Amino acid sequence: MVNKKVLVWMHNGPYPYFHFSIALELSKLNDYDFYGFVETKRDMEFFENQQKLKFKELHYFSEKYFDESAPDMDYLSNLEKKYNLNFWSLIYSERWFTEERFFFHKFSSNEILNIVEKLSRFYLNFLERIKPDFILMQPAGESITNFILYHIAKSVGVKTLMFMDTHLKNSFILSDDLFLNELKNEFDKIKLNPPKKIISYDRDFFDNRDLLQSSQILASAQSKNTIKYKKIFQRYLKQIFNSKEPLFYNRGKTFFKMIKWRILSSYQLKKREQFLNNFASKSIPKNKFIYYPLAVQPESSTSVRAPFHLNQLSIIQNIAKSMPVDYILCVKEHPGQKPKFWRPINFYESILSLPNVKLIHPAVKSFDLITKCDLVTLINASTGLEALFFKKPVIVFADVFYSLVSMVKKISDFNDLTKSIHDSLNNFSFNSNELSFLINSIENKQTLIPYFSILSEALRVSSKRIHHTILETEEEFEIFFNKNQKFFQLMAKKYDDFL
């Protein structure tokens, strides 16, 4: 019997050790051949030296684009046509190619396309040669490197299995689709044959399943790594004596540039926060209002899953133009924007300049705004699902799984926005059965795991590897693995069952 083949994606940060742990448990369930794609040289050294899992092949995939020759445009063009790809859409999802990161290095189109071409060529050759049964990976799009792999794998029929969050605490579904489209089949099945006893879900249910509590654990861990300034000089002094790997996102990162960026970012953070404290409202208006929660940017939830809805100022203006005259629009800044140094002050000023729009301070609780608003509008975030538990109508601008229910309207054309807003405000009918079917669909498919807590602990292993020996990293990994082994067993079982 031929062994099943698994490609383990071991990107930077927490994922190498997180995915390696799942693979370790997966190896105990069936006969698998494991292949690994590793992003950094330091992690490559760890996986080459470890004795826990034998890889048939390990590839340091980043080196494929170290050759900075001109891109082969004929190859890219033919690949795009053959597999119905859109490379520029993938490119615009990468934050290191956007204006926010030009401080370090402004990538030319040739540099970008060279990276895309070299990775695409390597991925395609590997997938056609090995023909893995599936790729064990995190949600695609957190980097252009795995976003390209995701799309090429899809094009050649290789499953890309990712644990996707359902916007409910510790609830994740193993899926090969970024939009959880398998929930539609489950929802339709339950709707066709509803259970005899239909459970009614309300705010109390959601209070106990709020995703924000668990996702903040990882955000806090990442924040400590990115904006803890006390150890900044010590960290960067180390980097003088340890030359950076030539990964694309390290280009232009000299010691002095990084120090300067940190100082400027710290100043920017304080200045923008002061502006929010001075001009964003900390109270909820008493008159009728529509609620729009700002999405964190840059973030894969929008750049990957809503690439044509990145201009939030334009969205806000369109909503403001489309509302009834006796309504105002409350636009709330997301507290998760702080680790990204908030937004430019001129963005906030543009919101404040709109006569029927109110900028709400990030400290104001989203639940309080949902409770008192008459309609929630948003791109695709979890607030839309939250609003359903408060029996509020929802309008979304991008694909999202909870739009399966009739209480959620998706806007595909802004010319329809005025009518959709008026319909949502004047003709809204809450269907508790549909919400129940949606939650049933999730519960039938979900795996309950403290995903973000485990990632935050994996991040500590990764940090250990940056500054310590392989032996010290192995000791840290052993602690991490043993603590979370039961969850890795659970996730491995889901991967094994998927086939």
73 and 106 share a domain? yes
- Which of the two residues, 437 and 242, has the higher pLDDT score? 437
Pairing of strands 134-136, 159-165: parallel
Domain-located, residue 426: yes
CATH no. for residue 108? 3.40.50
- Residues comprising the chain, all counted: 499
Cβ–Cβ < 8 Å for 394, 387 = yes
- 342 in the same domain as 267: no
Flag whether 90 is in a domain: yes
pLDDT at 57 over 80: yes
Query: pLDDT tier at 40 (50, 70, 90 boundaries)?
Result: very high
* Whether the predicted pLDDT of 450 surpasses 60: yes
Report CA Rg, the chain: 24
CA atoms within 13 A on the CB side of 265: 20
pLDDT of residue 467: 78
pTM listed for this prediction: 0.92
Q: Are 351 and 492 within one domain?
A: no
Q: Which residue has the higher pLDDT, 210 or 67?
A: 67
434 and 322 in a common domain:
yes
494 and 351 part of one domain: no
Which of 93-107, 173-187, 246-260 is least confident? 93-107
The mean pLDDT value for 212-227 works out to 49
The answer to whether residues 259 and 238 touch, using CB atoms and an 8 Å cutoff, is no
Band of pLDDT at residue 493, cut at 50, 70 and 90: very high
Half-sphere exposure at residue 8, Cβ-oriented, CA atoms within 13 angstroms:
30
Last residue of a domain, one of 251, 279, 307: 279
pLDDT of residue 344 exceeding 80, the answer is yes
Does residue 171 sit within a domain?
A: no
> Of the candidates 425, 445, 465, which is a domain's last residue?
445
Asked if residue 93 is part of any domain, the answer here is yes
Residue 328: C-alpha distances to residues 157, 321, 358, 413, 468 (Å)? 48, 10, 7, 22, 55
For residues 291 and 369, state if they share a domain.
Answer: yes
**Domain housing 58:** 4-166+448-498
Name 183's bridge partners: none
Residue 197 domain-assigned (yes or no) = no
Last residue of a domain, one of 279, 298, 322: 279
**Residue 389 forms part of a structural domain:** yes
**pLDDT tens-digit profile of 102-131?**
789 999 999 999 999 999 999 999 999 999
- pLDDT tens-digit map of 368-385: 999 999 999 999 999 999
What's the whole-number mean pLDDT along residues 206-210?
Answer: 72
Whether residue 290 sits in one domain with residue 254: no
Task: Give 28 or 215, the one with higher predicted confidence.
Answer: 28
Query: What is the C-alpha separation between 360 and 252, in angstroms, rounded?
Result: 37
Tens digits of residue pLDDT in 276-303: 999 999 999 999 999 999 999 999 999 9
Task: Give residue 240's pLDDT.
Answer: 45
CA neighbours within 13 Å on the CB side: how many for 424?
30
Task: Give how many domains the chain has, as a whole number.
Answer: 3
For residues 262 and 331, membership in a common domain is answered with: no
Spell 382-417 as b/e; 16+ CB within 10 A means b: bbbbbbbbbebbbbbbbebbbbbbebbbebeeeeeb
310 and 381 housed in the same domain? yes
186 found inside a domain:
no
- Answer yes or no: are the C-beta atoms of 332 and 368 closer than 8 Å: no
Q: Are residues 391 and 458 in the same domain?
A: no
Q: Report residue 361's pLDDT band, with 50, 70 and 90 as the boundaries.
A: very high
Distance CA 157, CA 120 (A): 15
Residues 287 and 396 in one domain: yes
- Residue-level pLDDT at 358: 98
Contact 384, 310 (CB under 8 A): no
- For 395-430, the pLDDT digits (tens) are 999 999 999 999 999 999 999 999 999 999 999 999
365 close to 393: Cβ distance less than 8 angstroms: no
Say if 123 falls within a structural domain: yes
395 and 463 in a single domain? The answer is no
Write out pLDDT tens, residues 225-243.
444 444 544 554 555 445 5
